[in-house]
Structure 1
Amino acid sequence: MIFNSEFSGQQQHTTQPIVTGGSVIALAYKGGVVVGADTLCSYGSMADFKNVEKIAQVSKNTIYVSSGEFSDFQQVVRELAKIDRSALQYDDGVHPSPRDYGNYLARLSYKRRCKINPLYLQNVIAGFHNGERYLGLVDIYGTYLESNFVTTGFASYFCKAIISNYWNENCTLDQAKQVIRECFKVLFCRDCRAHDVIQLAYVDEQGTHIEQPERVETKWDFSGFKNRANEKLHTQ
């Protein structure tokens, strides 16, 4: 973000993110790509905004979602929407592919990084084009990666074991969704900036499908929790 200071008259840059979104998980499945994110935006360390939908459709076959500074996410959505709108205005039947959006976002992030005015985002682009799945990751430095599964934020630390154990790239859509739900159960218990309300979206040969937010089931009555509480009572 860039803003002009009314007091100093000098141009200043954002030095740290303020309102941030949490982890993003995206998985390829047999017929497309599914992505998941929770609906929480934190103001610093405070869980302030709990009903924020952070998954955006940028074209009929492309989904964009990110973790990081939410205002930067909004700016990127506007930039990607301009590209799609411009393509529609030409009316020549030529539209950017999901990979085109990923490459553009990588160059934009690298340019902003070089100007010491980065987009504080870990970006995920998912799409389906000409019978092929596409899933790309672009980080704050403009590093670009294509993969069959992508995690950002604390999901990169807590969820890769779950994904490796229960997911494969040829699983069904329902199986991929369930893996994402299991990941967000773990994140809600272990990441202080995670939320138990998540939103899922997927893209296939029919186009993009963004679902309504849902609450993941959590369990807090494990015997280990109860036994530890009883042990504390007996030792006091």
Structure 2
Amino acid sequence: MDHSQERWGRPRSDVYGPYQYAIHNAGAGSGPSTATQQPIITGTSVIAIKFDNGVILAADNLASYGSLARFTDQERLIKVGKETVVGMSGDVSDMQYIEMMLERLIIEDDYAQDGHNLRAPHIYEYLSRVMYARRSKVDPLWNAILVAGKKDDGSPFLAYVDLLGVTYSSPSLATGFGAYLAVPLLRQLVSDEGDEKSVTEAEARAKIEQCMKVLFYRDARSLDKYTIATTYLDGEVKIEKDQRCQDMSWRFAEHIRGYGTQKV
């Protein structure tokens, strides 16, 4: 059967005139406009917690191609402006696109040279609108994002936005599997707004390192090499790369029923 559109289902040439083949060939070679429906190269959890003098974030350096641990040097914590850090999980290509957008935003803001800089709440509001606008076009950026820095009143700022444009803030946050594995541990230190005032940087960092170790044990898409970023209330940002989980041991697996040759 001949299913060619040129030979059936079109107006009769003897009634309506010659068929306009330009209509049939429109867009030939380029195909229809499509949107990403599934992330390809992905990064896993980003975790963060407030403390009395700022915010600490951490994200491992693995970018996975499906279940393949393909890239082991992918940085997912990005310094934006002078005093803000953005951490992203999800599709790496979309993350790079967002990074480019933020770079342009900072450059345009610097044109004014009026002594004012974009702070974390401003960047967060910008990202929340970008993510919601892309979701509304059914062409989302496949990422979950944490934004950390300080507010205009000088207090720590930490908030979340995802590919649906969902936004919320909390003194401890995580994306990916970290939302299930790390947040309960982080809430041992801070569970409500204001709890961070009694938490020191050393305590917050120790808890972050514990969470990264748990994620490496439990999340198959994670890595034991990670980056830690710390934002302080005085505007300083410190980024420490190539951190490693310490004192790793898989001996605990021997006590799990059904592991290896052990009988259930």
Task: Within 5 Å, give how 1:1-16 maps onto structure 2.
Answer: 7-16=29-38
CA distance in 2 between counterparts of 1:182 and 1:192 reads 17
Q: Residue type of the partner of 1:87? A: D
Would the alpha carbon gap of residues 184 and 230 (structure 1) be closer, same or farther in structure 2, given more than 3 Å must change? closer
CA distance in 1 between counterparts of 2:259 and 2:30 reads 60
CA distance in 1 between counterparts of 2:131 and 2:82 reads 23
Structure 2 runs not aligned, ≥5 long:
1-26
Q: Deviations over 1:120-139 (max 9, x none)?
A: 01001101244221111001
Identity over aligned pairs, percent: 33
Point out the structure with the larger strand share: 1
Are 1:17 and 2:45 an aligned pair? no
What is the TM-score normalised by the length of structure 2?
0.81
Are 1:136 and 2:166 an aligned pair? no
Deviation of 1:182 (Å): 0.7
Would the alpha carbon gap of residues 74 and 227 (structure 1) be closer, same or farther in structure 2, given more than 3 Å must change? closer
The correspondence for 1:219, drawn from 216, 231, 249, is 249
Task: Within 5 Å, give how 1:5-154 maps onto structure 2.
Answer: 7-130=29-152, 131-154=154-177
Q: Residue type of the partner of 1:20? A: T
The correspondence for 1:180, drawn from 208, 218, 222, is 208
Q: Report the 3-state secondary structure (helix = DSSP H, G, I; strand = E; otherwise coil) of the residue aligned with 1:56.
A: strand
What is the TM-score normalised by the length of structure 1?
0.90
The correspondence for 1:196, drawn from 220, 224, 228, is 224
Q: Report the 3-state secondary structure (helix = DSSP H, G, I; strand = E; otherwise coil) of the residue aligned with 1:153.
A: coil
Deviation of 1:94 (Å): 2.2
Q: Report the 3-state secondary structure (helix = DSSP H, G, I; strand = E; otherwise coil) of the residue aligned with 2:163.
A: coil
Aligned residue pairs, count: 229
Q: Residue type of the partner of 2:239? A: I
Q: Hey, which bits of structure 1, 4+ residues long, moved more than 4 A?
A: 226-231
Q: Residue in 1 aligned with 2:196?
A: 169
Deviation of 1:87 (Å): 1.3
Q: Deviations over 1:166-219 (max 9, x none)?
A: 455131112111111111111111111011111100111142111122110211
CA distance in 1 between counterparts of 2:63 and 2:112 reads 37
Say if 1:128 and 1:207, in contact at 8 Å, map to a contact too.
Answer: no
Structure 1 runs not aligned, ≥5 long:
none
Mean Cα displacement is larger for which, 71-80 or 160-169?
A: 160-169
